[in-house]
Amino acid sequence: MAGSVLPPGVSRRRFLSAVGTAGGAGAMFATMGALGLAPTAHASPRYEPPRRSDFALTGRGAAKVVVLGGGIAGLAAAYELTKGGYDCTVLEAADRPGGRNFTARGGTVQTDLRGDTQTAAFSEGIYLNAGPARIAQWMVTLDYCRELGVPVEVFTNTNASAFVYNEAAGMRQPERIRTTKADVYGYVSELLAKATDRGALDSELTATDKERLLDFLRDWGAIGNKASGWRYAGTSRRGYSTDPGAGDQAGVPLGPVPSLARTFAEGAGRYLSFDFAYEQAMLMFQPVGGMDRIPLALARALGPRRLRLRTAVTGITNTADKVGVAFLEPNGTQGHLVADFCVAALPPRVLARIPHNLGPEIQAALGKWQIGTAAKIGLEYRSRWWETDCRIYGGITHTDLDIERIWYPSHGFHGPRGLLVNYCYGNHARQYGDLAPDARAQRAVEQGVKIHGGKHRTELASAFSVAWHLMPHIESAWATPPLGTPAYQLLGKPAGRVYFAGDWLTHLTAWQAGAFESARLAVRQLHERVLSP
């Protein structure tokens, strides 16, 4: 919450009331904007939720809103509108809130579009965040965790002790990320120091620059001095084959150091930039107990009356002063609901299949989003051998295998059991999706054996997987927006009384933060309209 910028002793409501009386609603809106209470032209308006008191001057009451879809965008829109006294109803086709925010636990049952039904056999405390699983520090998702009382803990997005493995590039065995980093940075330093020293960069660097650069490279790459030819010859940063210890156990640094040519041929360096991205940089976070703590907390805040599960939308009719929504009740009978406004928070392709009267332009626009898919395969093990045998406590192993990567659990360290997650995209996800659930797990296990050996197979206890293009009512992992096109602009505004919301309408596609930000934008637009003269 921003600190108040009002004169001391003046309440927000009294201040706005005085402005409204003197200058009309236009002046009031401008003032609200300056106070961070209403949208302005600024790129990043400070968000302030609707409040019941906002209606004091208008003589209007809060409107009735039907929200289509109980994913994060839909839940958040209803949650924010409810703060202002709006009468919201969320219609969700599935039997749980959250949409792609889906956490599978022991007993979770899921039937996919191929008709395969899985029942998760996970032990107590084991779960798979099948959809979103990590939160960056700057994302609004953390603010919702704080506001909703959902505790968070570190999500281990990177770990120097995890592995990289490029089978196709001829790597003979997996290598610790720390080892790859030491070698790549060592050789980069050696090469740049040599070139600098040879005068090859004299047009870019002054003598002082060169001195500073060489100082930096010697430390950062752990290379030798000028006399040694700036040579990279390995470093204890690579790790040890025998760790340093007591007495005369100095430790045996890991060797041998591969040649420069082999280091770059193996291509493992490509993974080093993974967490440079603004969205992926550590530290990252997750809710304690599973990502679905967020939609469950939103659903709890809304209450059961406002959230109707197992209720699939079958039609949207926009009129001059109302929106009608048809749906199937949980018992299969047809239902109908009339509201002042609608927030359609469904994936674009799913929305496009629902009969509506929003016009062909809207329908065409909904088809412009590019559907992406991804699959997660959760493998529960009856021991945490990656901790005891490999000394890997969390983080991600990156590979060029079809499982792409192995996530080690970020919680439950030293516990009796744990879950590894394979997370792959695109064609790999489709290939895994084409298999029956058991065959997916079997294939993933055999890939992981290349990294971890036999225990990756023999300690397996159970598996549960989701290929997102096969998930009913969702049918994709994300939808990439046609940014900057008329279609994107069109759906960023309401179609009559229907507002659109979802991460697909943001620059944060595939992140929950996008769903939250989009919900806020739709709520702001809707509330402004309701308040406007």
Summarize the annotated binding site for substrate as residue ranges: 134, 423
Residues making up the annotated binding site for FAD are: 92-93, 131-134, 313
**Quick one: which of 101, 180, 196, 465 contacts a copy of itself (CB under 8 A)?**
196
Task: Locate 245 and state its tokens.
Answer: 């210890």
Angle CA 130–389–385, to nearest 5: 35
Q: How far is the CB of 43 from a copy of itself (least distance, A)?
A: 5
Q: How far is the CB of 368 from a copy of itself (least distance, A)?
A: 16
- 3 state DSSP class of 478: strand
272: contact with a copy of itself by CB under 8 A: yes
- What CA dihedral angle connects 308, 309, 310 and 312, to 10 degrees? 60
527: contact with a copy of itself by CB under 8 A: no
Phi, psi of 111 (to 5 degrees): -110, 130
- CA dist., res. 297 & res. 530, Å (int): 27
- By CB atoms closer than 10 A (0-12, 13-18, 19+), residue 122 is buried
C-beta closer to a copy of itself: residue 158 or 476: 158
- CA dist., res. 80 & res. 88, Å (int): 10
- CA dist., res. 4 & res. 19, Å (int): 17
**Quick one: which of 90, 508, 526, 530 contacts a copy of itself (CB under 8 A)?**
508
C-beta closer to a copy of itself: residue 124 or 248: 248
301: contact with a copy of itself by CB under 8 A: no
207: contact with a copy of itself by CB under 8 A: no
**Is the distance from CB of 463 to CB of 116 less than 8 angstroms?**
no
Paired residues of 374 in beta bridges: 425
Q: Report the run of H or E that residue 123 belongs to, with start and end.
A: none
C-beta closer to a copy of itself: residue 43 or 320: 43
Q: Which stretch binds a copy of itself (CB under 8 A): 14-22, 82-90, 448-456, 515-523?
A: 515-523
Q: How far is the CB of 283 from a copy of itself (least distance, A)?
A: 5
Q: Which stretch binds a copy of itself (CB under 8 A): 83-91, 120-128, 197-205, 369-377?
A: 197-205
**Is the distance from CB of 84 to CB of 49 less than 8 angstroms?**
yes
DSSP state of 275: G
Residue type at position 168:
A
22: contact with a copy of itself by CB under 8 A: no
- CA dist., res. 422 & res. 262, Å (int): 28
Q: Where are the beta strands (DSSP E) in 84-167?
A: 87-91, 103-105, 109-111, 117-119, 127-129, 135-136, 152-155, 163-165
Site for a copy of itself in 465-484 (CB under 8 A): 483
Q: How far is the CB of 528 from a copy of itself (least distance, A)?
A: 13
Q: How far, in whole angstroms, is CA 239 from its chain's centroid?
A: 32
Q: Which stretch binds a copy of itself (CB under 8 A): 5-13, 88-96, 120-128, 279-287?
A: 279-287
26: contact with a copy of itself by CB under 8 A: no
- CA dist., res. 500 & res. 509, Å (int): 15
**Is the distance from CB of 171 to CB of 302 less than 8 angstroms?**
no
Residues making up the annotated binding site are: 92-93, 131-134, 313, 423
Site for a copy of itself in 156-195 (CB under 8 A): 156, 158-161, 178, 181-182, 184-185, 188, 191-192, 194-195
Q: How far is the CB of 204 from a copy of itself (least distance, A)?
A: 6
**Quick one: which of 5, 43, 207, 227 contacts a copy of itself (CB under 8 A)?**
43
**Pattern 217-256, a copy of itself, x by CB under 8 A:** x-xx-x-------------xx-xx-xxxxxxxxxxx----
**Is the distance from CB of 113 to CB of 373 less than 8 angstroms?**
no
C-beta closer to a copy of itself: residue 205 or 309: 205
Site for a copy of itself in 111-150 (CB under 8 A): 137-138, 142, 145-146
Site for a copy of itself in 391-410 (CB under 8 A): 391-395, 410
62: contact with a copy of itself by CB under 8 A: no
87: contact with a copy of itself by CB under 8 A: no
